[in-house]
């Protein structure tokens, strides 16, 4: 995400209506935000989209990477969370993500619970 978008979402946080407009416009343009975290033994993939009824919808799929011919394939676990745009704004304000050098994608990744690859 460009630096101008980093500052514009943070600027929009100051107002409930401005943030709602920003998120709505963001998802009109991007439709969906995706990301993932993969290590040899474990993976997480997430998608975020805006639903007119449910608000922000975060879907997280986690699983275990198993190796070897005899390894039984474990089914991935899918978790879905919804929140209103205003709840998301309050979460960002409460967690102080806006004070850090994070993009909106970084914030969604953190909210989805996907670890940062630098944390390994």
pLDDT tens for each residue of 48-91: 999 988 899 999 898 887 766 555 666 788 889 899 999 988 88
Q: What is the pLDDT of residue 3?
A: 42
Residue 53 resides in a domain: yes
Q: Give tens-digit pLDDT for 86-120.
A: 998 888 888 766 667 777 778 887 777 766 655 44
The answer to whether residue 119 sits within a structural domain is no
- Is residue 120 in a domain? no
User: Does 118 map to a domain?
Assistant: no
Sheet containing 55-64, strands listed edge to edge, beginning at the edge strand earlier in sequence: 33-39, 42-51, 55-64, 77-83
Is 1 among the domain residues? no
Q: What domain range includes position 17?
A: 7-112
- Compute the chain's Rg from CA coordinates: 16
Q: Is the pLDDT of residue 17 over 90?
A: yes
Q: 117 in a domain, yes or no?
A: no
Domain count, the chain: 1
* pLDDT higher than threshold 80 for residue 10: yes
CA gap 104, 98 in Å, rounded: 9
The reported pLDDT for the residue numbered 85 is 92
Give the model's pLDDT for residue 117. Answer: 52
Question: Is residue 35 situated within a structural domain?
Answer: yes
């Amino acid at each position: 995400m460009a630096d101008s978008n980093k500052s514009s979402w943070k600027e929009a946080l100051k107002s409930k209506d401005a943030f709602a407009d920003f998120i709505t416009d963001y998802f009109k343009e991007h439709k969906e935000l995706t990301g993932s975290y993969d290590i040899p033994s474990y993976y997480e993939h997430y998608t975020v989209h805006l639903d007119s009824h449910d608000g922000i919808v975060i879907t997280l799929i986690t699983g275990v990477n198993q190796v070897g011919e005899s390894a039984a394939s474990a089914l991935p676990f899918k978790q879905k969370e919804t929140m209103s745009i205003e709840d998301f704004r309050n979460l960002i304000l409460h967690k102080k993500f806006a004070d850090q050098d994070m993009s909106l994608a970084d914030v969604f990744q953190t909210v989805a619970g996907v670890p940062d690859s630098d944390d390994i």
